[in-house]
Amino acid sequence: MTSQTQPDLGADGVPRGQRALDALVDLLDLEQLEVNLFRGVSPPHSPTRVFGGQVAGQALVAAGRTVPDDRYVHSLHAYFIRPGDPRIPIVYEAERVRDGRSFTTRRVLAIQHGEAIFSLSASFQTAQRGLEHSEPMPSDVPEPETLADLGTRIASGEDGGWLTDVPRPLDLRFVEAPLWASIGRGASHTPRRVWMRADGRLPDDRLLHQYMLTYASDLTLVGSVVARHDLAATAAVQMISLDHAVWFHQPFRADEWLLYEIYSPVASGSRGLATGRFYTREGALVATTIQEGLVRVSDE
């Protein structure tokens, strides 16, 4: 199966992916209510809960809006506290914890119905030089152009999870079967890999590209826990993100191909831990992710 050669155009001649990407950029452009107070909304096609990548991305935007222009996020640590309600706005309250000579620290609380649904701590840094090394990119990965995009897979009858009937701002090319389609296919003890990029062009704004990667990093990560197990095709699986962390190592563009390699090293107590690495096409390791999720399985 190969990738589509022609873009999927809408009635106005604009590629549907670019339109969906522009909508996501607008979604991340929070309304400022006060000096440290922001408001975000969810798209009309949201699932029953606010997508975790959305609230993480919007919270990082709220933090970034309070930081000097010469500083970029190098790490974030977050907890998903309550399910988000996509029917109402989310209020983001940013706390200016510290402004140092090299580092800036922020905390953000996302609030709905008067209660916290998400908390984030993020650290920003000025550009500095130092020692450099990284793990190499996997060498046996097919080029993204040789793989079918998610739209082609869905059109051929494959399950696309909650992404089946919604606009998709990201171009996803799975090397192995998508994680949501792996139940009943046996256990896999090797990392899962997916090429991804924004399905269109983004402005030359480094923080925006970091926001976009934060959004994308939650799409397939906790599903790697399920991939480690040989579950029955009829098994009902509940997966909920509990906490999430991202470390940014080098500049990158989210509208160019990034390989996301994900793997679950351990699961216990109805929780599973998942790790991920983002590589550029040239092999640079640009971001690392870790997430713990609630994973419950029932055969009923």
The order of strands in the sheet holding 37-40 is 31-34, 37-40, 90-99, 103-112, 115-126, 71-80, 236-248, 285-298, 271-280, 258-268, 192-198, 170-174
Residue positions annotated with a catalytic role:
218, 241, 291
Nearest alpha-carbon partner for 192 in 259, 243, 240, 241: 259
H-only helix segments in 89-222: 150-155, 206-217
DSSP SS3 for 288? strand
Separation of alpha carbons 14 and 10, rounded Å: 6
Specify the DSSP class assigned to residue 15: B
Hey, which residues does 275 pair with through a beta bridge? 263, 290
